[in-house]
Amino acid sequence: MPAIVLQLTRVGFLILLWLFVLAAIRVIRADLRAGAAAAGSGSERRADRGRRQSSNGGGTATAGARPVPGILVVTAGSMAGTRLRLGPGPILIGRAEDSTLVLDDDYASTRHARLVQHGQQYFLEDLGSTNGTYLDRARITAPTPVTVGVPIRIGRTVIELRP
Amino acid sequence: MAAPSGQQADRQHSDDPAATSPPTDRRPTGRAAELGLLVFAAALVTAALVIVELNQNRALSWHLAAYGGAYLLALAAAHLLVRRFAPYADPVLLPVAALLNGLGLVMIYRLDLAAAASAVNRGEDPPAAQATLQLVWTAVALVLFLLVLVIIRDHRSLASYAYTLAAAGIVFLAVPALLPARFSQVNGAQIWIRIPGLFSIQPAEFAKIALIIFAAAFLVTKRGVLSTAGKRFLGLTLPRVRDLGPLVVALLLALAVLVRGNDLGTSLLLFGTLLTMVYLASGRVSWLIIGLLGFAAGAALAYRLFAHVRVRVNIWLHPFDDPLGSGYQLVQSLFGLGTGGMFGTGLGAGRPDIVPFASTDFITAALGEELGLVGLTAILLLYLVLATRGLRTALAVKDPFGSLLAGGLAFAIALQVFVIVGGVTRLIPLTGLTTPFLSYGGSSLLANWIILALLVRISDSARRPPVAPVPADRPRASLTEAHTELVPVTGERTDRTRPAGRTDTPADSGTTDTERAGS
């Protein structure tokens, strides 16, 4: 086989190998863009759902921008009426003395759930409680974004985020 | 469910009752991109095979095209099953692994040719071809990949077998230590289960996966405690040992077995991976510091206890002290990489067979010699793509177990590549590990395809668009009427007969200004 052909295959293969790497990176980039677009429309959809839920619950959410939660209000249970200003740290909810929101509720676990802020959004997370944590009517299994006005049920306590 | 007849046409493709309205923002599944990349990968592997044959002055025949076509067919079958069983899976994972595996096959075949030629020169019979066996293992691994995808339809189901998997993994790991050396020892490392004449497997590769799954499931349950509880000391929040008890026990058992079998590479890999997972779960630097101190102590102890560790470190520091003896392998690997230079000698035109164990531990040196720095960098980038897609999956998936599992598996691949490539290029002392997907070795190949299947499964769940919301026209029961079973958490409560889940307080009574629980 002539040497020139061998040299060409040698360089050509390296070029092909790099083209594959670039093609993979292109796919990743397209995927990230699509993901960002989906997340954008997804947040619109979530806002839409939140609007529906809050109109159901008599909330004051307006169309367009989603209101940023500012306080946490206990709406039902033995602690009803308690309000908590939302700070930067995570909010631990449970019967433990060192929780941020100490519940006096026999149906709540010691460390029941927590609310974690991520950007402009709060995520509700169950900490392996006995009776579970419910967002609206659904029992949550993974960190779930919480919209203003959606009831969170823990044992017999219901809490809500308000703007 | 009664749907308006106008929507009937829209939903005939979907048997999901929740999808009454077709989602308009559904992102592309990426299956077309995956197919394109798979065809590209098969073409690259075929091209590599042709170049090897050209450079070895062998006659080109249509057999080569048949090999390439068979590889493409196998990948297409995998693609179709992924389309069926994980339609939203990451499109890059499978093609990258397929390309690495294919390049490994070509390089092993090329080393077979060299071994046969040198045997003929010495007037001996050529040794058994490794490439044929590796081809069989690749087929088995692809089948296993698909089996894992088909059987594990939801990765979260793995979490319920956490302790079973951990126990099975450790027992499996300990089998070689209990077997007589004839059935378990290869090259001084007692880490095999050998059935002479049939096959030999390395249980550590599979035990590694079981332990990573166990660690993910265990850490998810302890995550809250891990990131909050503990004493503060010197600005660090010291963790409580009891929170990690089972994980530490499992890790120490595994390490004891591995160190006893002289498998330091896998112990390093396992330790590093589990440590990273603890850090991922807790987000606390103190764990990393404690782990690294423990690693330093363990490394110092191993250096004092084991002669072969001292030899390895010595070769690493002074490879040219004994270039024809103990340093021969590493020195030849460095010469090989140097011969390759920037652009390599061309596939099939170098002498990578001079390095002992070129097809297993030193396959990256062989590829570096024949593809040069440019080619080896591309291969390392492929691993980087694999690891970042795994970590991306870990970030995107919604359940914490899947997130930890994907993070752990992706990090395990990255760490393994670092340890072995670092060893081959004399960045760190050499420990015997395989290069994922590239190296000759059935167990490693099977285990890595299982890891890939798990990553594909988790990425499918991460990228799957959320289920369409419940239609608004459905009558919505108010929250307080939702039926749930409640169990008192405190044992001494007796009034279980009270209607559970009934809250009579109106939802808006909470606007009084009592600030009882201040933050």
In this predicted model, what pLDDT tens digit does every residue of B300-358 receive, in sequence order?
A: 988 898 888 898 899 999 988 888 888 888 999 999 999 988 998 888 888 888 888 88
Give the lowest-confidence range in A3-7, B93-97, B393-397: A3-7
Return the higher-pLDDT residue of A56 and B125. B125
- CB-CB under 8 Å, B25 with A45: yes
Rounded to whole angstroms, how far apart are CA atoms B379 and A119?
A: 37
**Across the interface, which of A34, A87, A107 has its CB nearest the CB of B486?**
A107
Residue A60 has pLDDT above 50, yes or no: no
* pLDDT in the model for residue B470: 52
What residues does A125 pair with on adjacent strands?
Answer: A114
Distance separating alpha carbons of residues A94 and B477, to the nearest angstrom: 27
pLDDT band at A160; cut points 50, 70, 90: confident
Tell me if A133 sits within 8 A of A154, measured CB to CB: yes
Residue type, B170: I
Its pTM surpasses 0.80: no
- pLDDT at B267 exceeding the cut of 90: no
Closest CA in chain A for residue B401? A142
Residues A84, B519: C-beta atoms closer than 8 Å: yes
Q: With CB atoms and an 8 Å threshold, state whether B505 touches A109.
A: no
Beta carbons within 8 Å of B31's beta carbon, 6+ residues apart: B79, B82, B83, B87, B91
Instruction: Supply the DSSP symbol for A116.
Output: E
Look up tokens 């500012």; give the residue. A70
Q: Which member of B51, B487, B500 has the closest CB to residue A9?
A: B51
If pLDDT is split at 50, 70 and 90, which confidence band does B467 have?
low
B228 by Cβ neighbours in 10 Å (0-12 / 13-18 / 19+) ranks as: middle
Site from B489, B509, B511, B513 to mutate, A interface, most A CB atoms within 10 angstroms = B489
Question: What's the pLDDT score for residue B69?
Answer: 85
Which whole number is the average pLDDT over B102-110?
92
Residues 490 through 519 of chain B touching chain A, CB cutoff 8 Å: 490, 493, 500-501, 503, 505, 507-519
Of A159-163, B12-16, B436-440, give the lowest mean pLDDT range: B12-16
Residue A47 has phi, psi (to 5 degrees) of -60, -40
Q: Can you list the pairs that A3-12 forms with residues at least 24 positions away whose Cβ atoms lie under 8 Å?
A: A5/B54, A6/B54, A6/B55, A6/B346, A6/B349, A7/B346, A9/B47, A9/B50, A9/B51, A9/B54, A9/B346, A10/B51, A10/B343, A10/B344, A10/B345, A10/B346, A10/B347, A10/B349, A11/B343, A12/B47
User: Could you tell me the CA-to-CA distances from A54 to A86, B342, B508 in Å, in that order?
Assistant: 20, 63, 13
DSSP three-state, residue B270: helix
Mean pLDDT of the region A56-80: 65
Mean pLDDT calculated for residue range A74-79? 82
Mean of the per-residue pLDDT values of chain A: 78
Q: Which residue of A has its CA nearest to B388?
A: A28
B276 with B406: CB under 8 angstroms?
no
Question: CB pairs below 8 Å between A and B: how many?
Answer: 207
- Point out the residue among B95, B469, B486 whose CB comes nearest to the CB of A49: B469
Which 3-state string (H, E, C) describes B405-467?
A: HHHHHHHHHHHHHHHHHHHHCCCCCCCCCCCCCCCCCHHHHHHHHHHHHHHHHHHHHHHCCCC
Cα gap A137→B483, rounded to integer Å: 9
Q: For B261-272, what is the mean pLDDT?
A: 85
A98, A106 in Cβ contact below 8 A? Answer: no
Residues of A in contact with B466 (CB under 8 A): 42
User: How far off is chain B from A119, nearest CA to CA, in Å?
Assistant: 15
Confidence (pLDDT) at A52: 45
CB atoms within 10 A of CB B295: 14
pLDDT 10s digits, B375-425:
999 999 999 999 999 999 998 888 889 999 999 999 999 999 999 999 999
HSE value, Cβ hemisphere, 13 Å, CA-based, for B212? 31
B345 interaction partners in chain A (CB closer than 8 Å) = 10
Taking CA–CA distances from A59, the nearest residue in chain B reads B508
| Cβ density class B176-205: b for 16+ within 10 Å, e for less | beeeeeebbbeeebbbbbbeeeeeebbbbb
Ranges A50-64, B186-200, B417-431: which has the least confidence: A50-64
How far is it, in rounded angstroms, from Cα B108 to Cα B132? 9
What is the arithmetic mean of pLDDT over A105-130? 85
Are A103 and A94 in contact by the 8 Å Cβ rule? The answer is yes
Side-chain half-sphere exposure of B518, counting CA atoms within 13 A: 0
Average pLDDT over residues B233-249: 70
- Answer whether B225 touches A (CB < 8 Å): yes
Quick check: B374 and A82 CB within 8 A? Answer: no
Dihedral sign computed on CA atoms, order B128, B129, B132, B138 = positive
**Contact: B517, A101; criterion CB under 8 Å:** yes
Residues in chain B: 519
Span B35-69, pLDDT tens digits: 999 999 999 999 999 898 888 877 777 777 888 88
Structure tokens at B32: 């077309």
Q: Does pLDDT of B26 surpass 60?
A: no
The closest alpha carbon to B159, from B487, B467, B460, B454, belongs to B454
Q: Smallest CA–CA separation between A64 and chain B, in Å?
A: 19
When mean pLDDT is compared over A43-47, A55-59, B230-234, B492-496, the highest value belongs to B230-234
The answer for B 54-93 residues in CB contact with A (under 8 A) is 54-55, 57, 90-92
pLDDT value at position A120?
77
Are residues B500 and A74, on separate chains, in Cβ contact within 8 Å? no
pLDDT of residue B235: 59
Which of A68, A67, A70, A66 has the alpha carbon at shortest distance from A42?
A: A66
Report pLDDT for B92. 92
Contact between chains at A136 and B479 (C-beta distance less than 8 A)? yes
Question: What is the C-alpha separation between B22 and B8, in angstroms, rounded?
Answer: 11
What pLDDT, on a 0 to 100 scale, did the predictor assign at position B17?
41
| Cβ <8 Å between B503 and A76 | yes
Nearest Cα to A145, choosing from A34, A38, A50? Answer: A50
Angle of helix B93-121 versus helix B442-463 axis, rounded to 10:
170
Percent with pLDDT over 90 in chain B: 31
A1 vs B54, B398, B490: nearest CB: B54
Q: Is the pLDDT of residue A9 over 80?
A: yes
Greater confidence (A44 vs A137) lies with: A137
pLDDT at site A39: 59
Per-residue pLDDT at A56: 43
For residue A27, give the nearest of B33, B381, B465 by CB distance.
Answer: B33
Q: Which helix (H) or strand (E) holds A145?
A: strand A144-146
Test B37 with A24 for CB contact under 8 angstroms: yes
* Mutate which: A26, A48, A107, vs B, most B CBs within 10 A: A107
CB-CB neighbors (< 8 A) of A79 in chain B: 516-517
Q: Which of A111-120, B19-28, B334-343 has the highest mean pLDDT?
A: B334-343
Q: What one-character-per-residue DSSP string does B301-347 give?
A: HHHHH-HHHHHHHHHHH-GGGSTTTTTHHHHHHHHHHHHHTTT-S-T
Residue A106: which H helix or E strand, with range? Answer: none
Dihedral (C-alpha) A35, A36, A41, A44: value to the nearest 10 degrees?
130
Question: Residue B358 gets which letter from DSSP?
Answer: T
User: Residue A114 and residue B224: Cβ atoms within 8 Å?
Assistant: yes
pLDDT of the residue at A16: 94
Which pLDDT belongs to residue B239?
67
B51 Cβ under 8 Å from any chain A Cβ? yes
Residue B59 identity: A
User: Would you state the pLDDT for residue A53?
Assistant: 45
Mode of pairing for the β-strands spanning A91-94 and A101-102: parallel
Q: Is A162 or B471 the better-scoring residue by pLDDT? A: A162
Lowest mean pLDDT among B1-10, B125-134, B246-255, B331-340: B1-10
CA B184 – CA B201 distance, rounded (Å): 9
pLDDT at residue A104, rounded to an integer = 81
User: B5 pLDDT exceeds 50?
Assistant: no
Q: Do A142 and B33 touch (CB under 8 A)?
A: no
Listed residue (B33, B493, B103, B216) closest to A131, CA to CA: B493
Average predicted confidence (pLDDT) for chain B: 80
- How big is the CA angle at B429 (ends B426 and B434), to the nearest 5 degrees? 85
Mutate to test the interface with B, among A9, A15, A48 (most CBs of B within 10 A): A9
Mean pLDDT of A28-37: 79
Lowest mean pLDDT among B102-106, B158-162, B436-440, B501-505: B501-505
- Whole-number Å distance between alpha carbons of B296 and B416: 19
Task: Quote the longest CA-to-CA distance of chain A.
Answer: 89
Are B228 and A14 a contacting pair at CB < 8 A? Answer: no
Q: Do A7 and B346 touch (CB under 8 A)?
A: yes
* B199-201 and A133-135 strand pairing: unpaired
What's A61's DSSP letter? Answer: P
Confidence band, pLDDT 50/70/90 cuts, at residue B117: confident
Please give the Cα distance from B228 to B327 (Å, whole number): 49
pLDDT at B198: 64
pLDDT, tens only, B126-167:
787 888 888 889 999 999 999 999 998 888 888 888 889 888
pLDDT of residue A19: 95
